[in-house]
Structure 1
Amino acid sequence: MAASSWKRLVRFVPKNDSSKVLVGQPIDDEIDVGLALREGKEVTVDVFDGTSVLSPGQSTGKNVVIERVLSPLTQVEAGTIRCIGLNYKQHAQEAKMQIPAVPTLFMKPQTALADPWPAPTVLPKQTMEHDDGDYESELAVIIGKSCKNVSEAEALDYVLGYSAANDVSSRTAQFAQTQWSYSKGFDGSCPLGPTVVSPQLIPDPSKLRVRGLGLRQNQEPQVLQDCGTDDLIFSIAKVISFLSQSTTLPPGTVIITGTPAGVGFAKQPRYTLKPGEEFRVEILPYIGTLISTFEAEK
């Protein structure tokens, strides 16, 4: 893939026209878009002339302020979301499970894709019934061009960019089955964003830091997950290559690549997601913070 003309992209609704959805690049290269918006700060974007992060076009030279940030992709653009389970060594240890010999794949439907804050993340009725909602902070990979039967050596050439995701999970349903797609596929169970970061900035995705932070009501953020992507069992290149064997990954395909140790079901006492509370997925450098606030399904 030719070098892109952008470093970080956001998809958003601008303050000057709430009827529009725009794509562009934050003018501040250092700003953590999600955190800045949550703190009430203005985030100014250089608007591009494209309508999608898959084909953003070029800078228009026009700057606008974000009113509301969206998932980088629409549900239609993303299609079925590929998810890798049990892909961090320390997480396998806390779950008391053997290191897998090949990547473990499950799927989330496109209806699972959701926007970051201020859009709420809905906890399903059965999750509320069992008080078993869990978070999983994950590095997300977005495929930029049609990808099939690629080798590990060439796999990263197919990456459009990197983002942050939360694999919101309902543990009672998960542990009742051997297949995880049901328990992890509820509407809105994959908040994504808010930025897409070019491989120009992240040439080696094994050098990132993933943290998950829980915010109980009126309390300071609590670090629940904290791990480098160098703890991955299967590298990003390995995952892409594996998923592409005899299977076309079209542009816009989202791959979420596993969660580090520190998930809620493994903690003592157990930590569960509750309405009115917040969870943050922070991936540094460059990607920043994906923020989700939770409400119960009505």
Structure 2
Amino acid sequence: MRVGTVRVGQTRMAAEERDGRWYALDVPPGTPLEAVLAGGLAGGLGTVRTAGPLDAAVPVRPLRPGKIVAIGLNYLDHIREAGMDKPQRPLMFAKFPSSVIGPGEPIVIDTGLTGRVDWEVELAAVIGTPLRNVSGDEALAGVAGYTVANDVSARDLQFADGQWTRGKSLDTFCPLGPVIVTPDELGDPQALKLWTRVNGETVQDSSTAEMLFGVAELLAFCSRAFTLEPGDVVLTGTPWGCGEFMNPRRSLRPGDTVETGVEGIGVLVNPVTEGAR
């Protein structure tokens, strides 16, 4: 099942995407997708019926996560390009939920604050049931679905601060979407192609098979420390091809267009603009 949030006129609603068309989920009007997940329907979204097809539906941010847990240096090819040692355990950080935007929305760069903004395609796991101190198999069973994420990063702030929260959490720095795909439809999360294109040029091209720590291990690791709740999002790391590690170094600029994609989910497209939000 492929679900998300769409806007029809001024109204946002949870919906299912089938064959390029959107159908409203049969839930009370105005119910956000994260509330559908919290209601115990996640992992069994196929039991949620849909109403009629929606005309002129525009996909938007699929959900507003309660928290965003992200993992750094989790792809072997990215570790090699960065010239760093393999982490002995998952390297965890957080992004603020206020950084989330959806498909078509601009990544806004405040050029007075940062000049080294980077792209990072990631497979994102959306939690469907509470996970606390669970095994890997239990963790995967608690995933409602997967979506595409772009862990946009202000590298100058990230490295100057000595920790990553500010550089990773600027407004608009976490595009998600365009849909959330349930595990039964997506298949093995460790066998998916993922890529980034900037202005049509492929800059990242890899596979989730390159993960150092797989999705099940990451979620189980997180659950030992804190509860993952319905609607939380876990970003699972990015592969090689980040602009910061190119020679010469590359950064996003206003006027660019970024496309991040994951096999079986789709492509998330965001323009880059200048300004402060």
Distance 1:61 1:49, change over 3 A: closer
The answer to whether the 8 A contact 2:118-2:154 is kept is yes
* Counterpart contact for 1:132–1:172, Cα < 8 Å: yes
Which residue matches 1:92? 79
Q: Quote the residue 2:3 is aligned against.
A: 9
Equivalent position SS for 1:269: coil
1:26 aligns with 2:5: no
Q: How does 1:133-172 map to 2 (within 5 A)?
A: 133-172=117-156
Quickly say closer, same or farther: Cα 1:136–1:202, change in 2 above 3 A: same
CA contact (8 A) 1:79 1:109 kept: no
1:250 equivalenced with 2:229 (yes/no): yes
Given candidates 240, 262, 272, the residue that maps to 2:219 is 240
Q: In the alignment, what sits opposite 1:53? A: 33
How does the TM-score come out when normalised to structure 1?
Answer: 0.84
> Would you say the 8 A contact 2:2–2:18 is kept in 1?
no
Query: Structure 1: which 5+ residue stretches go unaligned?
Result: 1-6, 29-42, 216-220
* Alpha-carbon distance between aligned partners in 2 of 1:139 and 1:53, rounded to the nearest angstrom: 19
Any idea what the Cα deviations from partners look like across 1:97-149, whole Å, max 9, x if unmatched? 001010001111111111220x2111133455xx3111000110000011110
Q: Give the aligned partner of residue 63 of structure 2.
A: 73
Work out whether 1:83 is the aligned partner of 2:55. Answer: no
Q: How many residues align?
A: 263
**Aligned partner letter, 1:9:** V
**C-alpha spacing 1:183/1:273, structure 2 compared with 1 (3 Å):** same
Question: 1:60 Cα deviation (Å)?
Answer: 3.5
| Contact 1:45/1:66, CA 8 A, preserved across alignment | no
Which residue of the partner structure matches residue 100 of structure 2? 113
Q: CA deviation digits over 1:150-185, x for unaligned, max 9?
A: 111321011000000101111111122331111111
Output the CA distance in 1 between the equivalents of 2:175 and 2:56.
18
Range that drifts further, 153-162 or 48-57: 48-57
Q: How far is the alpha carbon of 1:64 from its aligned partner?
A: 1.1
Aligned-residue Cα RMSD (Å) equals 1.5
Query: Structure 2: which amino acid aligns with 1:68?
Result: V
Alignment of 1:223-234 (within 5 A): 223-234=202-213
Query: Corresponding residue for 1:125?
Result: 111
- Residue matched to 2:270: 292
Q: Percent identity?
A: 34
Structure 1: distance between partners of 2:248 and 2:16: 42
Q: TM-score, normalised by structure 2?
A: 0.90
Residues 148 and 176, structure 2, Cα contact 8 Å, conserved in 1: yes
- What one-letter code is carried by the residue in structure 2 that aligns with 1:191? P
Are the counterparts in 1 of residues 123 and 236 from structure 2 also a CA contact under 8 Å?
Answer: yes
